[in-house]
Structure 1
């Protein structure tokens, strides 16, 4: 839900730019929001408009939005590259020197290592989320092999976009002396002429479309699946998405998180201390402990072989606690730099590496000493069908509601 909220607020900023491009007076809308919120009336109104536009899409199955995804895939790279070209052009002769100067101004020695580790941890935080919920939407692929291309596509696309953003922001800083680290910050600088406003409108439209598609596929469906697992008798995919889009988007106060680049990086690094080890636990359990052999049918049985101890795999929770504990002081310091914790703050700067180094041996050791033999199967079972109707992976209902599970047992 965090990324659902962040993307929705960003989408609202793009809506604001589109409205300003048509009616410039919208930028001067009287503000009635307290300064402590870090946002204005026009910000919240635009946020609400984007939310209203986005809401109907959750009632459309992702498989029926292929045209929208294709349009987004075509126009967003054009806008990103166009923004890069614009930034280099306005920097003019300064472009080369400013890029070289930014490299020369990079910290050296210990400070460089700290800056690298902090940035790498923040970036890994975004991937930790995706690594956990990618199965929620990759299940719509035609075959399991369709996923393998993402190994190359995701790093290539994200690296390219990050490079365009870094160069654009650096060149824009040379002209405006501002840190423009968000696409809408740069697009707002195009509001200088009729042609510039037209470009601002089209660019904002492309980014807003991108935010809608990302929210529907990667964010709202993932949140909905989690809610379905918590209450399968009462929540289906659509209801879960509705809860995520209505409650989650507003509850995360994204305008506070995006108030500055420092806040954003601190938040991304903080939640990754939990998500990264969870992702690694899933990998180790699948490849090492279970050796890629699962009985899928048993996963949908409330009292099946994967129930562990009253529904809890305590080994995973112990390993997770051992991993999170060393990083907690660093997280507190990152959120409140006035809190002095000594040199342990450096552990947090490589929190993901620390997490992997702890969670892997601890989880394997616990499974060695206290194994769960009932969860180990000789051969994988993927295709057993219940006497009731087979659960459709493209359906919008939860397994319990489909009849795949025995609801009385649930």
Structure 2
């Protein structure tokens, strides 16, 4: 039996042809060509590519729904807009800070995680994001199915009133099931095309009845900023997975620092204003655009309504597909390649995600398990169909935001943008730290989330805690980031790592051949230490 397993594992190993043999001195356990520096010929993205990226990422169902949920906290339209602008500014800033290694050294999130947490320690941030991607791929597929229901209902009145023949225990209706499965088919098709195209590798202001004191208003705004910024934390932390394909080092700068805040803010503001207009006319408050379209079909099933909801549903369907492809499927494939590079490529990892994401019956997470969603949202941004979006989504800031801050602090403040690139893929390199783990990063991460735990547990269990812990939880995005950065930098200064701020380039590899990594010996000084290489 053991021999059969060994044979199967050998068969599944990533195959490399010709010049794509793993260079001497590197173990296939730590790298394959999906996580090595991107070759020059594959660096195709320009400034408009990154503007398009953020247009798709920010113009989504989730971003649209944020504004209304801010008003549910008791904020006015103006205060809600202020929270949104500040939150998306944070998103753009951290996207730039974490994306710079990609455009500077053409390496992705796996490399950033390894240099900060160590080769084994990097499993923590990578697995957190993989877990989030697997679940929310399926959840997004469910909402994609819901948008497909809108489109089909606009074309067929009989489908709109189709009788549900499935039991209540199924957690989904006869109407939505084929649509959700159809989304999965589209995901596979688009994914295959994208990978192949890349050579393998979208009146009167509605106000709350809540009267807030100045103190409550201040913490309410901090709460809104935390939840809004936390929703896109995963995008920011793994931005280097996309900037590594940049044609020039400066191409992502303006789109990240300006494009993300502007496009994200505009979408949420439009959501506030449009929902407000519907409320003034029809006295209906529905922040979920998909549910709003279904309500419109139910209220007035006229030819004009059918045409309007058809094209709106089609646009949202497209948005959900592209967001899932760009924000869940491909990034999860990249992360899986970083976890198990000997056996998994980006393509294999993405296919595994698609299969698991449907097998887990994601509609059950949306329709049945509120507690599960509250816990799960700790690992990344999510969308909920209820007006309780923010009480659930705030926990997106608890775990991923301090990880993002530690990654940025290590690259900019500790290593000062200098990496010994070959050592990222070797067990005997400087990023091995202590038994493969950088304990400084682990301690900083642990201490940064401790303060949010009482509020997190209270949110999950809907239990009562003191006002102090509640407010600490409401400020978790800002507080966790501050604690993580301070603790990590202090520990790194007090206990500096071996080889700190020494750098060795991959050379221009793999412009000619990845084997030029072996030219590291020619770059070493007489003591065999890597030479200083100043990065832009």
Question: TM-score when scaled to structure 1?
Answer: 0.79
**CA-based RMSD:** 2.7
Shift of 1:349: 0.1
RCO comparison, higher one (Cα < 8 Å, 6+)? 2
Paired with 1:106 and 1:57, the residues of 2 have a C-alpha distance of: 48
Distance 1:158 1:197, change over 3 A: same
Asked if structure 2 preserves the Cα contact closer than 8 Å seen for 1:136 and 1:221, the reply is: no
Shift of 1:248: 3.3
More off after superposition, 174-183 vs 301-310: 174-183
Shift of 1:363: 0.7
Aligned to 2:319: 210
Shift of 1:246: 2.1
Shift of 1:106: 6.2
Unaligned 5+ residue runs, structure 1? 66-71, 73-95, 392-410
Identify which of 404, 410, 414 aligns with 1:285: 410
Aligned to 1:24: 157
Residue 395 of structure 2 aligns to a residue whose secondary structure is helix
Shift of 1:195: 2.1
Question: TM-score when scaled to structure 2?
Answer: 0.62
Aligned to 2:177: 44
Aligned to 1:137: 242
Paired with 2:461 and 2:285, the residues of 1 have a C-alpha distance of: 22
Distance 1:148 1:62, change over 3 A: farther
Q: Kindly indicate whether residue 299 of structure 2 is the aligned counterpart of residue 194 of structure 1.
A: no
Shift of 1:262: 4.3
Identify which of 366, 382, 396 aligns with 1:255: 366
Aligned to 1:239: 348
Asked if structure 2 preserves the Cα contact closer than 8 Å seen for 1:30 and 1:41, the reply is: yes
More off after superposition, 186-195 vs 15-24: 186-195
For 1:12-91, what aligned pairs fall within 5 Å after superposition?
Answer: 12-32=145-165, 35=168, 39-61=172-194, 64=197
Shift of 1:121: 1.0
Paired with 1:269 and 1:174, the residues of 2 have a C-alpha distance of: 29
Paired with 1:23 and 1:302, the residues of 2 have a C-alpha distance of: 60
Identify which of 265, 284, 295 aligns with 1:159: 265
Per-residue CA distance 1:146-203 (angstroms, 9 max, x = gap)? 1012211111111111000011112222344333112212322442211211221111
Paired with 2:209 and 2:464, the residues of 1 have a C-alpha distance of: 31
Aligned to 1:323: 448
Distance 1:265 1:34, change over 3 A: farther
Asked if structure 2 preserves the Cα contact closer than 8 Å seen for 1:221 and 1:237, the reply is: yes
Distance 1:11 1:314, change over 3 A: same
Paired with 1:302 and 1:64, the residues of 2 have a C-alpha distance of: 34
Which structure shows the higher helix fraction?
1
Q: Kindly indicate whether residue 233 of structure 2 is the aligned counterpart of residue 128 of structure 1.
A: yes
Asked if structure 1 preserves the Cα contact closer than 8 Å seen for 2:141 and 2:184, the reply is: yes
Distance 1:387 1:312, change over 3 A: farther
Identify which of 507, 520, 525 aligns with 1:383: 507
Q: Kindly indicate whether residue 453 of structure 2 is the aligned counterpart of residue 348 of structure 1.
A: no
